[in-house]
Amino acid sequence: MKTIFYITGGSRGIGKALVESALKTNNYFVYGISREQSVEHERYKHVALDLSNTNTLNELELPFDAEANKVVLINNAGMLGKVSPFGRQDNESIIKTHTINAIAPAVLSNWIIKKYSDTATQIVILNVSSGAARYPVAGWGNYCSSKASVDMLSKVIALEKSNGKVKVFAVAPGIVDTQMQTEIRQASPSDFSDLQRFKDYKKNGQLSDAQEVAESLMQIVNHPEKHQDTLLDVRKL
Ligand SMILES: NC(=O)c1ccc[n+]([C@@H]2O[C@H](COP(=O)([O-])OP(=O)(O)OC[C@H]3O[C@@H](n4cnc5c(N)ncnc54)[C@H](OP(=O)(O)O)[C@@H]3O)[C@@H](O)[C@H]2O)c1
């Protein structure tokens, strides 16, 4: 069974671990979509795109494979944006964070559902969400609201596509040891009241490993029928 993966943000962190996890299976083929390329493999093709560029998203076209039995879109690329309370935010960060975290997943979801609608191909969309989509964090307004948008996008698609051809999930991955956590720990204490808590997670070895998180996410896309809920959390699977 030929399965095609479209994985955004596959150049590092959780996304790279997802790409490497998918490539362990012989009939899995991966398109990695990010600015940088860090994976070389005979079943990997890189699509160099800046997902913060709305012109790029407006004209989005990705390789289509009519022979695929299953296609998996993993909207993983994301950014934290400027950590600061509103009133001290900047417009560039507001626009960029929402574009990568919320608009790009919507555009890519629309593309894959449209492109494969007249085929027998099964479609699985996994949006990498965040706990911060589901509770407010002071200083993370752009991040929380853009991730909440992805949760709602997923719920709407699940409502529209209840016939089984399309399965969609928004999954919070937990607190994972990646560059994003490094950025969180570099925030200014005057902008981020929770800073010490995140420094303690690292100090106390409480961050999850990206490979382990990727394996849990792969279990969801490999067995979507096992999950009835759209909003999931890796820590509660
Ligand atoms: N780490 C955590 O604790 C945590 C917790 C909850 C949710 N998440 C979510 O998990 C996902 C992955 O995060 P991570 O921790 O692995 O972050 P990361 O290490 O910072 O990786 C982010 C990925 O997104 C890509 N990306 C960023 N800006 C991009 C752009 N303009 N165009 C295309 N790709 C872009 C990067 O690729 P390039 O730089 O090559 O473009 C990179 O591959 C994100 O959606 C994040 O919100 C992470």
What digits encode the pLDDT tens for the residues 150-169? 999 999 999 999 778 999 99
Q: For ligand 1, what atom is nearest to the CA of residue 17?
A: 16
**175/191 Cα distance (integer angstroms):** 20
Q: Ligand 1: does its nearest atom lie under 6 Å from the Cβ of 100? A: yes
For residue 3, name the pLDDT band (cuts at 50, 70, 90). Answer: very high
Would you state the pLDDT for residue 103? 98
Mean pLDDT estimate for the chain:
97
Q: For ligand 1, what atom is nearest to the CA of residue 77?
A: 24
Q: Tokens for 110?
A: 């629309």
**Among candidates 15, 130, 133, 6, which has minimal Cα distance to 70?**
6
Q: Which of 14, 62, 213, 216 to mutate to test the pocket of ligand 1 (most atoms within 8 A of CB)?
A: 14
Would you state the pLDDT for residue 156? 98
Cβ burial of 91 (10 Å; 0-12, 13-18, 19+) is exposed
Q: Which of 35, 38, 199 to mutate to test the pocket of ligand 1 (most atoms within 8 A of CB)?
A: 35
Expressed in angstroms and rounded, the spacing between residue 150 Cα and the centre of ligand 1 is 14
Domains and CATH numbers, the chain: 3-174+209-236 (3.40.50.720)
Q: Ligand 1: does its nearest atom lie under 6 Å from the Cβ of 51? A: yes
**12/181 Cα distance (integer angstroms):** 13
What digits encode the pLDDT tens for the residues 113-152? 999 999 999 999 999 999 999 999 999 999 999 999 999 9
Q: Quick one: CA torsion of 162, 152, 228, 126, rounded to 10 degrees?
A: 90
Classify residue 25 by its DSSP letter: S
Would you state the pLDDT for residue 163? 78
Q: What integer is the mean pLDDT of 60-66?
A: 96
Would you state the pLDDT for residue 127? 98
**63/109 Cα distance (integer angstroms):** 14
For residue 62, name the pLDDT band (cuts at 50, 70, 90). Answer: very high
Expressed in angstroms and rounded, the spacing between residue 76 Cα and the centre of ligand 1 is 6
Q: What integer is the mean pLDDT of 168-183?
A: 98
Q: Does position 216 have pLDDT exceeding 90, yes or no?
A: yes
